[in-house]
Amino acid sequence: MSTVTTTTGTVRTHAWYAPWLLCLPAVVFLLAFNLWPSVNGVFLAFTNVKPLSGGEIVGLANFERMLSDAQLATALLNSIVYMLVCVPFLLLVPLALALLVEKKIPGIAFFRTAFYTPVVASAVVVALMWGWMLDDRGVINGMAKSLGFITESIPFLTDRWLILFSAISLTIWKGLGYYMIIYLSALGGVGRELHEAAAVDGASAWRRFWTVTVPGVRNTMLLVSVLITVSALRVFSELFILTNGTGGVGGANVSVVMLIQMYARGFNGNLGYASALSILLFLITLGPLLLIARINKKAG
Amino acid sequence: MRLTTRTAVAATAAALLLSSCALSGTSTETRDPLDAEGEITGEVSLQTWALKPRFTAYVEGVIAAFEDEYPGTSVTWLDQPGEGYAEKVLSQATAGELPDVTNLPPDMALPLAREGVLLDLDQVEDDLAGTYVEGGLGAYAFAGLEGTYGYPWYLTTDLNYWNADMLAAGGLDAADPPTDLDSLIDQARTLKDATGAYLMSRKPGMNDLVSAGIPVLSDDGDEFVFNSPEAVALVQRYVDAYAEGLLPQDVLTDAYLGNSELFTKGEAAWSTGGGNFIAGVLENNPSLEGKIVPSPYMGITPMYVQGVSVPADSGNLPAALALARFLTDAQNQEAFAELVPGIFPSTVASQDNPELAESDGTAEGDAKAIAFTGLPDAEVLQPVEVTEAMSTVFDQQVAAAIAGQVPAQQALDTAVERCNRLLAD
């Protein structure tokens, strides 16, 4: 066992427990704030526990309730539409942006910064700003009216689908820079010599994109699609703020996370049903992830 | 392998054991009334809700006076931020750490009282009815529970505010404002036709149904009943008004302050608000100075009650009760009301105070006087059983009706069904 002598004493560096000791803070943190809540959540899903009054085990009652929950059906539809629209946009547009700003030309740093700026802005602040812009008397409706394009305000924040697509646009706008940076990093790993060899062989820019660039960033695309899928299915801030926390007219714009928040909050929170919804969301998130992994395996 | 299996089983068992703790809930011990009769001394904690920094001097003054009155006592004051107060109180209650005297509005006191967390004041007080006004005390007496679970502290109410300039531009007179829904809609139409401006800018809430004399909850508090023909007819009035263009699109997804925000911006000519509403409006829009005219509320006037409760397991019950009484006595409440125009004492002795009913001739003074004189007939309109989630469900469905997506009857039926489900949870 090697030792190091210091001015304050002796530190044993190769004791069998040294790595465990070093990992201990992180392990304790993970157990307390990650693993334990997850295990507890699974358990609570089979109970009717309330914050103050406790409760009892109710078997599958919370899951049966889901079958007749019209709001849940709406929330699932919204989340799935969110995912289906967000994934292709955030998979391809950031790649195109990354290809554009990858070039080393004067002033390109400005564009890289500009594209990335929305990422560092608070989601809540950004959603509030979008809310003001899209409002009945907001900038967009005001300009469209003053230019004579419309006579009545476009109901961006009151129409069932316009709210959803406004929120999706916000998510895409805010996510472009983040995924662009990931692609930029991946593009750095695509050998320049491959592009040069393809060019020498007479390949067009389009063909080089499909035969050199895309295979080079395929794993990154997989990672990005996983990240987008998970975040799209768990959307909350955008819809919550654009609907002023109301979930939209008739509650048509709730997301699954909004429902979980609604049921879990307050003195009368139904922790059992909220936990069951969390498990459902987890399983739904798992589905597309497994599908993507399978596609990747086949393609590999 | 054997070790791994054993570890996994042990971990699962530990998790389930720990999880089962969540099923136990809070304790519901009955407190011996004699515990309240000890010497008033020692440490006691007081929790208020968002009073710092504006009212720090006032609360510290009350605490100093209490400590002078009862030598040997020491008050620890905790002031919680406005946001997330319910969550904070919930975590304190589940941990058994609720301060000895805690500011709790009736809707927060109800679930705590049901679980036996709060002391029933009827066990330890002889003359609550002679000390506090009926409306204030009634707010802390809950259906299905014996007793009173809070000392009423201060009361507020709502009244109407009109933008005199906007009304005048439409040929209307703020001195002769609408007094019911019919005249409100008529004047909204007149204003819209003349100037294109809005008078009305909110959809009906549960408060509006009760204010119009329409029951929201059954007498036994077991189910919602706001899908009655009367309720449908009232919502239909708003549906028609929206279809006529008398309400802005904002009403469909407005937040709580949507109506007053539009008024403050000068985009709607009517709002409801508390007795000190004008000061808040002028702070954000000084150009409305001299243009706001108050008038009494339409229908049954709403009353909002703040009070303080004492946990049943308080470690120093005599001092806790003494502090709660001291904080809510007539002298301290009147001093607070003087400091904050628009809030009023809940003590019987204060109701004859002429200063509270007099106006200094300003719109703010008129509002204070109207609010105070409206208090004797005011009622707590929204049942305390109504949670934030239930209000959201109601708003969603009423918005769907107003937008013309579903008939009013269907919207209220859906809202009743969903609210009943939440009530049964």
Quote the distance between the C-alpha of residue A9 and its chain's center: 49
Residue A155 contacts B where some CB pair is shorter than 8 Å: yes
What is residue B5's predicted lDDT score, i.e. its pLDDT? Answer: 46
Which of chain B's residues have a Cβ under 8 Å away from the Cβ of A57? Answer: 23
Quote the distance between the C-alpha of residue B406 and its chain's center: 30
Q: Which of residues 226-265 of B touch A (CB under 8 A)?
A: 248-250, 252-255, 258
pTM: 0.82
Residue B10 belongs to some domain of the structure: no
Q: Between chains, do A250 and B406 touch, taking CB under 8 Å as contact?
A: yes
State the CATH number of the domain containing residue B392.
Answer: 3.40.190.10
Residue B403 contacts A where some CB pair is shorter than 8 Å: yes
Residue B9 belongs to some domain of the structure: no
What is residue B14's predicted lDDT score, i.e. its pLDDT? Answer: 44
What is the count of residue pairs from A and B with beta carbons less than 8 Å apart?
Answer: 129
> Closest residue of A to B393, CA-based?
A251
For residue range B145-185, list pLDDT tens digits in order.
Answer: 899 999 999 999 999 999 999 999 999 999 999 999 999 99
Mind giving me the DSSP string for A249-273?
GGGTT--HHHHHHHHHSSTT--HHH
**Same domain for B165 and B142:** no
What is residue B30's predicted lDDT score, i.e. its pLDDT? Answer: 58
Best-predicted range by mean pLDDT (A287-291, B326-330, B388-392): B326-330
Listed by start position, the domains of chain A span 3-34, 61-299
Residue A58 contacts B where some CB pair is shorter than 8 Å: no
B403 φ, ψ (degrees, to nearest 5): -75, -10
Residue B103 belongs to some domain of the structure: yes
Among candidates A36, A244, A251 on the partner chain, residue whose Cβ is nearest the Cβ of B254: A244
- Any idea which residue has 């006032």 for tokens? B58
Q: How long is chain B?
A: 425
Answer yes or no: is pLDDT of B19 > 60.
no
Split at pLDDT 50, 70, 90, the class of A51 is: confident
Answer yes or no: is pLDDT of B339 > 80.
yes
Q: Which of A6-10, B82-86, B284-288 has the lowest mean pLDDT?
A: A6-10
Answer yes or no: is pLDDT of B56 > 80.
yes
Give dist(CA B189, CA B114) in Å, integer.
47
Give dist(CA B369, CA B295) in Å, integer.
10
Q: Between chains, do B253 and A244 touch, taking CB under 8 Å as contact?
A: yes
**Same domain for B351 and B221:** no
B273 φ, ψ (degrees, to nearest 5): -175, 175
Q: Between chains, do B23 and A248 touch, taking CB under 8 Å as contact?
A: no
Residue B410 contacts A where some CB pair is shorter than 8 Å: no
Answer yes or no: is pLDDT of A48 > 70.
yes
Q: What is the residue range of B236's domain? A: 159-302+383-424
**Same domain for B121 and B267:** no
Write out the CATH class of domain A61-299. Answer: mainly alpha
What is residue A228's predicted lDDT score, i.e. its pLDDT? Answer: 92
Q: Between chains, do A246 and B258 touch, taking CB under 8 Å as contact?
A: no
Answer yes or no: is pLDDT of B21 > 70.
no
Answer yes or no: is pLDDT of A141 > 70.
yes
What is residue B145's predicted lDDT score, i.e. its pLDDT? Answer: 87
Answer yes or no: is pLDDT of B316 > 60.
yes
Best-predicted range by mean pLDDT (A100-114, A232-246, B315-329): B315-329
| Nearest C-alpha neighbor of A171 from the set A243, A87, A284, A248 | A87
For residue range B223-276, list pLDDT tens digits in order.
Answer: 999 999 999 999 999 999 999 999 988 888 875 567 888 899 998 999 999 888
Average pLDDT, integer, range B358-379: 87
Split at pLDDT 50, 70, 90, the class of A296 is: confident
Average pLDDT, integer, range A206-223: 88
Average pLDDT, integer, range B321-340: 94
Average pLDDT, integer, range B7-23: 44
HSE-up of A61 (CA within 13 Å, CB side)?
13
**Same domain for B122 and B92:** yes
Answer yes or no: is pLDDT of B8 > 90.
no
Give dist(CA A271, CA A262) in Å, integer.
10
Average pLDDT, integer, range B17-23: 44
CA triple A255-A241-B272, angle to 5 deg: 120
> Closest residue of A to B89, CA-based?
A267
Split at pLDDT 50, 70, 90, the class of B360 is: confident
Chosen from B16, B20, B23 to mutate, greatest number of chain A CBs within 10 A: B23
What is residue B33's predicted lDDT score, i.e. its pLDDT? Answer: 61
Q: Between chains, do A53 and B117 touch, taking CB under 8 Å as contact?
A: no
What is residue B38's predicted lDDT score, i.e. its pLDDT? Answer: 79
Chosen from A57, A128, A246, A273 to mutate, greatest number of chain B CBs within 10 A: A246
Average pLDDT of the residues of chain B: 88
Answer yes or no: is pLDDT of B65 > 50.
yes
Residue B95 belongs to some domain of the structure: yes
What is residue A192's predicted lDDT score, i.e. its pLDDT? Answer: 83
What is residue B340's predicted lDDT score, i.e. its pLDDT? Answer: 86
CA dihedral sign of residues A246, A247, A248, A249: negative
This model of the complex carries an ipTM of 0.77
What is residue A5's predicted lDDT score, i.e. its pLDDT? Answer: 56
Q: Between chains, do A250 and B255 touch, taking CB under 8 Å as contact?
A: no
Mind giving me the DSSP string for B312-381?
TT-TTHHHHHHHHHHHTSHHHHHHHHHHSTT-EE-BGGGTT-HHHH---SSHHHHHHHHHHHHGGG-B--
Q: Between chains, do A250 and B87 touch, taking CB under 8 Å as contact?
A: no
Answer yes or no: is pLDDT of A73 > 90.
yes
Residue B167 contacts A where some CB pair is shorter than 8 Å: no
Give dist(CA B297, CA B367) in Å, integer.
11
Answer yes or no: is pLDDT of B16 > 90.
no
Residue B8 belongs to some domain of the structure: no
What is residue A12's predicted lDDT score, i.e. its pLDDT? Answer: 60
Give dist(CA B152, CA B136) in Å, integer.
5
Average pLDDT, integer, range A272-300: 85
Cβ contact A153:B249 at 8 Å? yes
Give dist(CA B382, CA B216) in Å, integer.
8
Average pLDDT of the residues of chain A: 88
Q: CA separation (Å) from A144 to A7, A136, A152, A153, B237?
A: 74, 11, 10, 8, 32
Residue B117 belongs to some domain of the structure: yes
Residue after which a domain boundary falls, among B339, B354, B377: B377
Question: Cis peptide leading into A94, omega within 30 of 0?
Answer: no
Residue A261 contacts B where some CB pair is shorter than 8 Å: no
Split at pLDDT 50, 70, 90, the class of B373 is: confident
**Same domain for B373 and B390:** no
Residue B19 belongs to some domain of the structure: no
How many structural domains comprise chain B?
2
10 Å CB burial of residue A17 (0-12, 13-18, 19+) is exposed
Q: How far is B364 from chain A (nearest CA, A)?
A: 30
| Helix (H) or strand (E) segment spanning residue A218 | helix A218-233
Average pLDDT, integer, range B205-220: 91
Answer yes or no: is pLDDT of A198 > 80.
yes
Answer yes or no: is pLDDT of A102 > 70.
yes
Residue B25 belongs to some domain of the structure: no
Answer yes or no: is pLDDT of B22 > 60.
no
**Same domain for B249 and B192:** yes
What is residue A1's predicted lDDT score, i.e. its pLDDT? Answer: 46
Which of chain B's residues have a Cβ under 8 Å away from the Cβ of A274? Answer: none
Q: Between chains, do B395 and A158 touch, taking CB under 8 Å as contact?
A: no
Q: How far is B285 from chain A (nearest CA, A)?
A: 18
Q: Is residue B204 classed as helix, strand or coil in its secondary structure?
A: coil
